[in-house]
Structure 1
C-alpha cells in the first residue's frame, strides 16, 4: 500500500497541471485540487476507459455503465488508477505497469432507476477494497462534494431570482476530462475548460464553452467527462458521462468549434433520490478522513454534512 502511494506521488510531482490547455503552477489558486479516478476496465485484450471522482476513503462516483463493465469478469481484473489533476496517462499503453496501481472493486451501488442504454440516471458508486488516503502530500487526493436535494433547490432558486442572463454570468463551472491537443493525438492529459451553465432542466444541463483555437485543447470527453460548478466557495459535481456516450462523439472539426453541449444532469429527480438515500443510509461509510493539510475543505464538508443530518432528523420526528 505504501509503495502504491509513493509511486503515485512520484508521478504527480513530475507532471505540470494544465488549466484551459496551458501549464500552471500547482500552487495556483485556480487549480481545483480534487482527485479524479481513471478506470481501465478490461485488461489487455479490450479496453473500456472512463473516469470517476473520489468522495471519501473508499467511495468513487462514476457512471452506471462504467460500473457494469467493472462487474464483468475479465482476464486481468482491470485497474482503478487514482490520478492527480494534470497527470499523464501515457501509462495506458503499458498495461503491465498500470496494473501495479490496481485497487480491487469491493462493491458497486447502482441507481435503481438505471436501465439499459439509459443516459439520464447513469450513475453508480464504486466501493474499493483498499482505502484511499487523503493529503499524502499537499494538493493531492482530495474528495469532491456531491450536491444533494437542498443544494439543488438553492441552485433552482438562484436561477429564477437572478434571471437567465445573470445566472449565466454568475455560474462558475468547468469541464474536466482527458482530451486531444494539437501536438498529441492520444488523450494523455487531464484537462479543464471553463463553461457557462446556460440552463438546467429536469434531465439535462446545457453548457456553453469558452474554448478557443489558441487553448491547445481541441477536444474533450474521449475518456469520459465531468461538469463541476462552484456554490458558496465549494465545488460540486453536476454531471458525469461515459467514454461510450453518443452525446460526446464528435469529429475533430466539431471539437474545434465546440460551443453548446447537452449533458445528462446528475441531479435529475431519480438521481437526487438515489444520492439522498445513499447519504442517509451510508453515513458511517461516507465519513471523510482528512489530514491537517486541508482544514478549509474539512470545515466546508462539515457544514454540508450537518445540514443534511438536521434535515434527516426533522424527517424522523415527523414519522
Structure 2
C-alpha cells in the first residue's frame, strides 16, 4: 500500500522545484510558460503566508461555521526547508487518513494536522487534536502536474489514529455510481480558514487565531469555466461559481468541497486553484474531482469504496 509514499530522494527533487518560481522538468531545463496567473501558482515566498487577523470573514464572503458543523474538516500547518510554513485544509476520510491537495504538500518536510475544532490558533485551542507527521507520511499523486495543476490530490497518513466523536468524523466519499454523475448546478459547500481576499495576509506568528468559515455555491459547467481558464479544465476537475465575490481563497487550498448526494454529505472536490484576479472578483474556483480518484484512494488508504 505504501509503494508511492514520498522517499527522501523524491523529497529532495521536490524541494529543488519548490525554490524556483518556474518549475523545472526532469532535464533541469526551466519551463518557460508563465505560471503565476492563478493563486495556487504563486511562488513559495508569496503563497506560504496566512491570515492572522481576528474577526474578518474568511472564505471571501463566507459565514462563520457552527460548532460540529464540519467534523470532517482538518487544518494542515506544513513546514518547508526554507523555514516557511503554509496553511492548507484537508478532509478526514478515516481514523488514519486525510485528503488534501498535492500543491500543499509538495516540498513539505513535516506538518501538524489539526482536527476537532473550528479554531486554528497558536497557542493551541484546547479542543484541538494535533498530530505531527513527516514527509514519510505524505503521498502526492504520482501524476501531479504543478504547471497545469493537474491531479492535484494528496494523502496524509496520520501517525496516531483518531478517535471519532461529535467533533471528529470522516466524510463520505462518492460511491462508484455517484463518482462521475452530472453535478452542474448542484449546490456545494466549501469550508476553510483561508483569506478574505488577495490582500488579506500576514506571516504565521506566535499568536494566531483563525475561525472556520463556509460558503454555499453551485457547480458550473466545464464550458463556462473554460472561458475563465483558457480551456485548461479537464473532466477530473470541477468548477464552482465565484459570482457575487463569494469564493474560496488562499489558505483554503486542500480543503473539502461537499454536496448532498442521495441524502448524504459527500466529498466531491478538493480546493485546487482560483484566479489571480482575486478571490472576490467573481472568477470560478477549480477543484480536484474526488470521484475520479476512488481507485487510487482505495489503493493507498483503508477507505472502502461503495459501488
Would you say 1:121 and 2:151 are equivalent positions? yes
Partner Cα separation in structure 2 for residue 116 and residue 44 of structure 1: 19
Matched residue SS, 1:275: helix
**Unaligned runs of at least 5 residues, structure 2:** 1-54, 203-208, 223-233
TM-score computed with the length of structure 2 as normaliser: 0.60
Choose from 169, 174, 185 the match for 1:142: 169
**Unaligned runs of at least 5 residues, structure 1:** 1-14, 160-166, 288-304, 309-319
Choose from 92, 95, 114 the match for 1:54: 92
Contact preservation (8 Å) 1:228, 1:235 = yes
Question: How much does 1:66 deviate?
Answer: 2.4
Q: Which runs of 4 or more aligned residues in structure 1 lie more than 6 Å from their structure 2 counterparts after TM superposition?
A: 17-20
Partner Cα separation in structure 2 for residue 121 and residue 128 of structure 1: 22
Partner Cα separation in structure 1 for residue 261 and residue 252 of structure 2: 26
Match of 1:314 in 2: none
The 3 A distance-change label for structure 1 pair 189 and 47 is: same
Choose from 210, 213, 216 the match for 1:194: 216
- CA deviations over 1:245-282 (Å, ceiling 9, x no partner): 5x3544xxx44443x41404324xxx72x421432x45
TM-score computed with the length of structure 1 as normaliser: 0.58
The 3 A distance-change label for structure 1 pair 219 and 208 is: closer
Would you say 1:276 and 2:295 are equivalent positions? yes
User: What pairs up with 1:143-158 in 2 under 5 angstroms?
Assistant: 143-153=170-180, 155-156=181-182
Would you say 1:241 and 2:271 are equivalent positions? yes
Question: How much does 1:202 deviate?
Answer: 0.9
Partner Cα separation in structure 2 for residue 249 and residue 107 of structure 1: 31
Give the CA RMSD over aligned residues.
3.9
Question: How much does 1:143 deviate?
Answer: 0.8
Please tell me whether Structure 1 or Structure 2 has the larger radius of gyration of its CA atoms: 1
Q: Give the structure, 1 or 2, with the largest relative contact order (CA under 8 Å, sep 6 or more).
A: 2
